[in-house]
Amino acid sequence: MPARPKWHPRRQGPRADGQAWADALGSEPWSDSAELLKEDGDVRVLSTTLRDRAVVLKFYRHGGPRGRVRSRLGVAAADRHWAGAALLAAEEIPCAEMLALASRRDGGVREDCLIMGRLEGQTLLQWLRDVRDGQVPIAPQHAVAQAVGAQVGCILAAELHNRDHKPSNLIVRFEGERPIIAIADCQGVKRLEREKSRHTVRMQASIALEPIGTGVLPRRSLIAMALASAVAAYTARRFGKAKLEDSMAMNSTERRAVLRSLPRGTALAAWPKIAERIAIHGDPTPKVAPLADPKATEQ
């Protein structure tokens, strides 16, 4: 049986070890222990161990000429994911670490593989399912709602937005009692340039659409708490020049102090537009069921 074509690094992380990752991808028996996380058309996502590191491998197959050209030019989906992660990392917003991006040509198909550090924890969607099922105490519910909102506020304050900011792309982990929300799939992260209001509303609506489609939308008090936290974090970060860590981890007293400085009702002012965006979206049922496998994440 002829050997498969070798992987060649196209992008690499700060350690400049892209060739080592590409060699490991082609030679290590990582597939023996790989777990399939998601398969959707020409995109396949696996969790495994590579070079003694827990990683997620996201494979993209380009069978058509357009996809192959975009990959060679460095503007394909994997490149957009890499660029989005770089934007978040520059703002120190938690996201999956990009280790390397490798490519190979196999007959008439060009294949990209994005190698990322694996984020440990539940997806936010799994967390919301546990909330619905009565498995999460009230205090952590409040903490996660505030952390989700603060993350949105800090992303927008950095003049970024995420076109695919859905709960199955957000990973929840805890440092003590403090939740950290990290972005697993960064492909939709872009600069917030034209039509800022529309993109801001779209990003916030994305958080609600998937829970509606899977039956795990949280109660209104948690939604209101997340919106208030988003406004407070945005204000503190954008206008108060607060540090990212302080904006993401404001306590209730600090949050109320920021909100008192704003016109009454500001925290919930965006909700009618968010609700309108949700209403015109259509059927929110996900094409690939993100809660079908309790271990599934959408990196």
Cα–Cα distance, 127 to 273 (Å, whole number): 26
Instruction: Please report the domains of the chain, with CATH numbers, ordered by start residue.
Output: 8-117 (3.30.200), 122-281 (1.10.510)
SS in 3 state form for the chain?
CCCCCCCEEEEECCCCCHHHHHHHHHHCCHHHHCEEEEEECCEEEEEEEECCEEEEEEEEEECCHHHHHHHHHCCCHHHHHHHHHHHHHHCCCCECCEEEEEEEEECCEEEEEEEEECCCCEEHHHHHHHHHCCCCCHHHHHHHHHHHHHHHHHHHHCCEEECCCCHHHEEEEEECCEEEEEECCCCCEEECCCCHHHHHHHHHHHHHHHHHHHCCCCCHHHHHHHHHHHHHHHHHHHCCCCCHHHHHCCCHHHHHHHHHCCCCCHHHCCHHHHHHHHHHHCCCCCCCCCCCCCCCCCC
Q: Note the pLDDT of residue 2.
A: 56
Q: Note the pLDDT of residue 174.
A: 95
Quick check: pTM over 0.85? yes
Using an 8 Å Cβ cutoff, are 102 and 9 in contact? Answer: yes
Return averaged pLDDT per consecutive 10 residues of the chain, 299 residues in all: 80 93 91 89 93 96 90 92 97 96 91 96 96 96 96 96 94 94 96 85 93 94 95 94 92 92 90 92 82 50
Q: Note the pLDDT of residue 297.
A: 41
Q: Note the pLDDT of residue 296.
A: 40
